Amino acid sequence: MLRALLHYFAIGAVLFVAKVAIGGGDGNRPEVTVVMPAGASGADIEKETRNQILLNEARRYGWYRTDPIVFTHLVRNMRFIDPQTTDDDATLFEQALAMNMQEHDPVVRARLLYRAREALGFVPEDRMPTKAELEQHRTEHPDRFEREGKVRFEHVFLSGTRRGESLGADGAQMRDTLEARGKAPPTGLGDPLPGLRAVQSTTVSDVENNYGKELAAVVDEGIIGMWRGPLPSVYGLHFVRVLEKAPPALPPLSAIEAEVRADYLTEVRKRLSDERMNALRDAYVVQVETVQ
Amino acid sequence: MTRSLWLTACLATLSLGLVGCGDDTSGTGATGGAGGGGGSFPPDEVGRCADTDPLRQPFFGDTHVHTVLSLDANLQGTRPGPNDAYAFAQGEPIGVQPYDEDGNPLRTATPTRSIDFVMLSDHAEYLGTIAACNNPDNPAYDRPADTSARPDDLGCVEYREELEGGDLNVFRRLNALTALTPENTRYPALCGDPNGGAGDCLQAGIDVWQEVQDAAEAAYDRTDACEFASFVGYEWSAGPGTVNLHRNVMFRSEVVPELPISYFDEPYVEDLWAGLNGDCNESGTGCEAIAIPHNSNLAAGTFFDDVDKDGNPFDSEYAQLRHDLEPIIEVFQHKGASECFPGESISDELCGFEVLPYPNLANTNLQLFANPGPRDFVRSAFGEGMLLEESLGVNPFQHGVISATDTHIAAPGYDDERTFLGHGGAGQANRDFVPEGFPDIQYLNPGGPAGVWAEENSRPAIFEAFKRRETFATSGPHIVPRVFGGFGLPSDLCDSPDFAATGYELGVPMGGELRDAPDGEAPKFVVSARQDPMSAPLQRIQIIKGWLDGEDYQVEVFDVAGDANNGATVDLETCEPQGQGAADLCAFWEDPSFDPAQRAYYYVRVIENPTCRWSALQCVEANYDCDNPTRQIDFDCCDATAGLNVDFCDDVAAELSERGAACCRKDNPESILDVDFCEQVANTLSEDEGACCLPRLETSIQERAWTSPIWYQPDR
């Protein structure tokens, strides 16, 4: 995501870090004043404090002047205030800034905070994972990378549209036929339906999406070698015989390295964001004012 | 320095062991992608998935998706990036603008189901342009413009100064470059070379392009589970005069060119194709690409022009290139249907479905009504293509069909009428505020999926399905159609469990070609379809036949299964469907008027029972009130164009001439046929009355699926 941001806007991530590093003593420390209503909780005060710090950083880098979304929004505000104005966009923007509109507008604040948070998550090259770290990440979070177990089963279908009122009787007859055939495959039995295959290997989720919960539940039970049915779906009646049921499997790193890397980096970004935010918090001098 | 020269120079630099462009060391110009992943992969060939079937399975995907990486989506407030988009496709909810201060989205899109494959298609233009000016390490960063060559252009210094000064016209100026004519379009001068080069922007774009590849690799399931397939791709966004000539470029594998080809690099489509062949298909690297055209409905009649970039009529080479590189076209998406013109001379009442009353991109953005024309539609191109084939020996418009969303909120497969939040892009951005009325321009729609019949859910299997056109489109629901055509198909195939095996053995599937009619025998077709279990039952199946009759092309529509008069309807008070339909349909059909000497095509259209359109659904859910409208949704729903409060429109029509009344009758959604005239009529009336005469939204729709045509080629 950092590249996405780099893509369109100047980024202050490195600058954030640099600012923190050069913070030095209190005399050089940046300051913010947080105005809160009386009775605000400590958590609310801390949240607003952190927002004000990020907004101040955005202000220090002039983002409110260079961000296209801030610009168009403030111009829109000005045109809303005075629909008859003949001033051009740039003039209206300056007027909005002169009114300090950017400090209070929730859309502008949200935009600048977004940019600031994205910048906090910048991942430098030296934080990129090694293969060993990826392997560790994979084994520590198997639930994130497991593949759903597959069920291989035989499938016979009777179309409700085609058979109409005889569907029930045809279903009973098909059940007898299947039982009589024993272990023989159901070759040549049933009706065609686009995408329905005589033998398929699929997930229980796919079965549910295609044919509904009843069929999925039976397939999920995974009783091997027994014809089950008739089972209703929106299409008609189904008979299934499970041949094999495989449990969920965690693929080796070689097969999912890019996926693991993406997941790992998401965590790194979160960690770096927290670390940098805390560093910024420590660097700032914060005044809290209370209003009634 | 042009893109190709720049790439050549980069490679030369690399060969000298110097730091050059990107990390590629292949020496080919094509890369192995997945920069973060190590770049070594097990073979990815058809047959590697545990569930592979030579008789093929249906898969659904979306090959037209924009994320934060697209300039327009970005400026509309879209924040999700490529990884988020892939997660959405696999069932994860996604944040949708606007966002609050804490970075929380005020709206959330939740997929109603996952889809099987996705290609992200962020605009190739500007992938690196802005990055160049914002990266102090880029040579362009400190360079002022050379205004001696282009007085109106920007260097990065001026670019940033203008931004500092609040002149966001810079963004409009950048965007406008894609709407310049081909001979005038160019990279912004801020890319470094005032004479049209772009090396610095190209350099900056490498990182972004790598991000696209990395995300695709992270999402692609290379295990034998084959749960999800991703494709590397981009959109070539040619819009001369705001006419849409866009193409999505789709790569078969992780082997892709060093950079995308943008409109600035190659402003003519034949040069895009040549570039794809040079950089990819004929590069010897294993790279393979196709281009997917879309939105012929917004090209003001130019999409299927039969002249090349120099104004000369197509020659065989051109036709062959187009035929080979553009096997598929989007027939339906967010920005309207491109199947058929509602005013065709033949009787096809279903052609009015989701046709936009706008002829180009600018009109859509500005919501300025104007007439579409018959040449904007794919059915017309199918006819023109057969005509061209007569003289050139190859049909340049022999397309298969898919649908797409063209989402600009990074939500692939988000095509359910019931949950539509708008897609941005050409529509309504909703960047700053939660919309109080409709969340998108009311004439736009959620789009639909690309359907394929493939052996398995892997890149090579799906890519090959695209190439052989074994694809289908739907307007959203996952209807599954299947068709085989042939001369020896048995008439009882609908009853056979060996439907597919026999179909492939004795015929060809959708997208295929029939030749050599034995003894002039008419071709037979076996067509079946099943409904989406999450949507309405099917009403009927149609076969649309088009054929070449001398210098004219003709069309006829046949109902071959189901019942157009099944009585099914929808209650517009509640949006509850009423009446019966079919869960599946199947029919055997033989062309009753076949002439073995005439070129022909046959495609299938599967029609659902009526359901509420998204706009009507949102009105019903909001419990709109036309007697006391106070909310924006009341005004939106009660506007006569919305079709929900139009009883008085018949009275309005009664006072008008016959032609004027045709615009304003409430049962005439095809007022789109004569938009200009109808707008004139509307202007003679009061605002409320005039709304009756503007292009009318359909309140209920019949969702549908279209298959790629089967083409008949006479033996010459």
Q: What is the pLDDT of residues B4-20, one digit of tens each?
A: 666 666 655 545 544 44
How far is residue B287 CA from its own chain's centroid?
Answer: 23
Residue B45 pLDDT: 94
Residue B691 pLDDT: 86
Residue B510 pLDDT: 98
H or E stretch including A6?
helix A2-8
Residue A256 pLDDT: 94
Residue B253 pLDDT: 97
- Cβ contacts (< 8 Å) between B100 and chain A: which residues? 106, 110
Contact B75 A69 (CB under 8 A): yes
CA distance B120 to B230: 8
- Cβ contacts (< 8 Å) between A9 and chain B: which residues? 130, 134
Q: Which residue has the tokens 């037979």?
A: B524
Q: What is the pLDDT of residues A235-272, one digit of tens each?
A: 999 999 999 999 999 999 999 999 999 999 999 999 99
CA distance A114 to A254: 35
Confidence of residue B516 (pLDDT cuts 50, 70, 90): confident
- Which two tokens mark A102? 């950017």
Residue B225 pLDDT: 94
Decide: A255 and A1 in contact? Cβ < 8 Å: no
Q: Interface pTM (ipTM) of the complex?
A: 0.87
User: Positive or negative CA dihedral for B261, B262, B265, B270?
Assistant: positive
Distances (CA, A) of B620 to B413, B520, B623, B636: 24, 55, 5, 12
Mean pLDDT for B190-213 is 76
Greatest extent of chain A over all pairs of C-alpha atoms, in Å? 92
Burial class (CB in 10 A: 0-12, 13-18, 19+), B567: exposed
Mutate to test the interface with B, among A7, A70, A201, A202 (most CBs of B within 10 A): A7
Provide CB contacts within 8 A for A165, sequence distance 6+: none
Provide CB contacts within 8 A for B658, sequence distance 6+: none
- Cα within 13 Å of Cα(B224), Cβ side: 12
3-state secondary structure of A166: helix
Decide: B458 and B223 in contact? Cβ < 8 Å: no
Decide: B598 and B554 in contact? Cβ < 8 Å: no
User: Positive or negative CA dihedral for A39, A42, A47, A48?
Assistant: positive
Of B126, B13, B129, B5, the C-alpha closest to B72 is: B126
Phi (first) and psi of residue B354, to 5 degrees: 50, 40
Other beta carbons within 10 angstroms of residue B78's beta carbon come to 30
Of B642, B660, B661, B658, the C-alpha closest to B650 is: B661
Q: What is the pLDDT of residues B320-368, one digit of tens each?
A: 999 999 999 999 999 999 999 987 767 798 998 999 999 998 888 888 8
| Of residues B68, B497, B528, nearest to A198 (C-beta) | B497
Contact A198 B225 (CB under 8 A): no
Confidence of residue B600 (pLDDT cuts 50, 70, 90): very high
Q: Which amino acid is at A272?
A: L
CA distance A120 to A129: 19
- Which two tokens mark B343? 């005013």
- Which two tokens mark B56? 């093929």
3-state secondary structure of B322: helix
Q: Which amino acid is at B224?
A: D
Pick from B149-158, B436-445, B598-607: least confident? B149-158
Q: What is the pLDDT of residues B410-421, one digit of tens each?
A: 999 999 999 999
Decide: B55 and B396 in contact? Cβ < 8 Å: no
Distances (CA, A) of B284 to B255, B257, B288: 11, 12, 10
Contact B37 A147 (CB under 8 A): no
| Of residues A4, A188, A191, nearest to B69 (C-beta) | A4
CA distance B510 to B709: 6
Pick from B238-252, B311-325, B350-364, B447-461: least confident? B350-364
| Of residues B42, B131, B495, nearest to A6 (C-beta) | B131
- Cβ contacts (< 8 Å) between A212 and chain B: which residues? 533
Residues forming beta bridges with residue B600, ordered by sequence position: B547, B712
3-class secondary structure for B545-602? EEEEECCEEEEEEEEEEECCCCCCEEECCCCEEECCCECEEEEEEECCCCCCCCCEEE
Confidence of residue A181 (pLDDT cuts 50, 70, 90): very high
Contact A262 B214 (CB under 8 A): yes
A89/B contact by beta carbon, under 8 A? yes
Across chain B, mean pLDDT equals 88
The region, left, alpha or beta by phi > 0 then psi within -120 to 50, assigned to residue B300 is left
Q: Which residue has the tokens 């996405």?
A: A4
Question: What DSSP state is assigned to residue B277?
Answer: I
Residue A13 pLDDT: 44
Residue B166 pLDDT: 45
CA distance B371 to B378: 17
- Cα within 13 Å of Cα(B29), Cβ side: 21
- A232–chain B nearest CA distance, Å: 12
Mean pLDDT for B155-173 is 60
| Of residues A6, A94, A110, nearest to B100 (C-beta) | A110
CA distance A103 to A59: 10
Decide: B408 and B76 in contact? Cβ < 8 Å: yes
Residue B17 pLDDT: 45
Burial class (CB in 10 A: 0-12, 13-18, 19+), B5: exposed
3-state secondary structure of A216: helix
Q: What is the pLDDT of residues A62-94, one digit of tens each?
A: 888 877 788 888 988 999 999 999 998 889 999
CB contact residues (below 8 A), chain A span 226-285, against chain B: 233-236, 249, 251, 254-259, 261-262, 266
Mutate to test the interface with B, among A161, A187, A268 (most CBs of B within 10 A): A161
Residue B425 pLDDT: 85
Confidence of residue B378 (pLDDT cuts 50, 70, 90): very high
Mutate to test the interface with A, among B40, B70, B202, B530 (most CBs of A within 10 A): B530
Instruction: Nearest chain B residue to A117 by CA: give it.
Output: B103
A185/B contact by beta carbon, under 8 A? no
Residue B472 pLDDT: 98
- Cβ contacts (< 8 Å) between A13 and chain B: which residues? none
Confidence of residue B134 (pLDDT cuts 50, 70, 90): low
Residue A14 pLDDT: 42
Across chain A, mean pLDDT equals 89
Contact A194 B163 (CB under 8 A): no
H or E stretch including B133?
helix B129-134
Residue B71 pLDDT: 81
pLDDT at residue B509 tops 50 = yes
Burial class (CB in 10 A: 0-12, 13-18, 19+), A210: buried
Residue A10 pLDDT: 36
| Of residues B208, B500, B533, nearest to A3 (C-beta) | B208
Confidence of residue B370 (pLDDT cuts 50, 70, 90): confident
CA distance B204 to B689: 54
Contact B218 A258 (CB under 8 A): yes
Decide: B539 and B609 in contact? Cβ < 8 Å: yes
CB contact residues (below 8 A), chain B span 188-227, against chain A: 207-208, 210-211, 214-215, 217-223, 225, 227
- B2–chain A nearest CA distance, Å: 21
Say which residue, B470 or B370, is predicted with more confidence. B470
Quickly list DSSP for B521-539: PPPEEEEEEE--TTSPPEE
Angle, CA of A275, B213 and B1, to the nearest 5°: 105
pLDDT at residue B22 tops 90 = no
Decide: A163 and A236 in contact? Cβ < 8 Å: yes
Share of chain B above pLDDT 70, in %: 87
pLDDT at residue A175 tops 70 = yes
Decide: B84 and B94 in contact? Cβ < 8 Å: yes
Other beta carbons within 10 angstroms of residue B315's beta carbon come to 12
H or E stretch including B336?
strand B336-337
Decide: B309 and B268 in contact? Cβ < 8 Å: yes
Tell me which long-range contacts A101-107 makes (C-beta under 8 A, separation of at least 24).
A101/A74, A101/A77, A102/A64, A102/A70, A102/A74, A105/A73, A105/A74, A105/A77, A106/B100, A106/B101, A107/A69, A107/A73, A107/B98, A107/B432, A107/B433
- Cβ contacts (< 8 Å) between B223 and chain A: which residues? 147, 249, 251, 255-256
Mean pLDDT for B56-72 is 94
pLDDT at residue A3 tops 70 = no
pLDDT at residue B264 tops 60 = yes
Residue B569 pLDDT: 96
How far is residue A159 CA from its own chain's centroid?
Answer: 39
Q: What is the pLDDT of residues B645-655, one digit of tens each?
A: 767 788 888 88
CA distance B395 to A190: 41
Helix axes A106-120, A253-283, angle to 10 degrees: 120
| Of residues B83, B227, B480, nearest to A194 (C-beta) | B480
- Which two tokens mark A50? 């952190």
Q: What is the pLDDT of residues A10-43, one digit of tens each?
A: 334 444 544 554 444 456 789 999 999 999 999 9
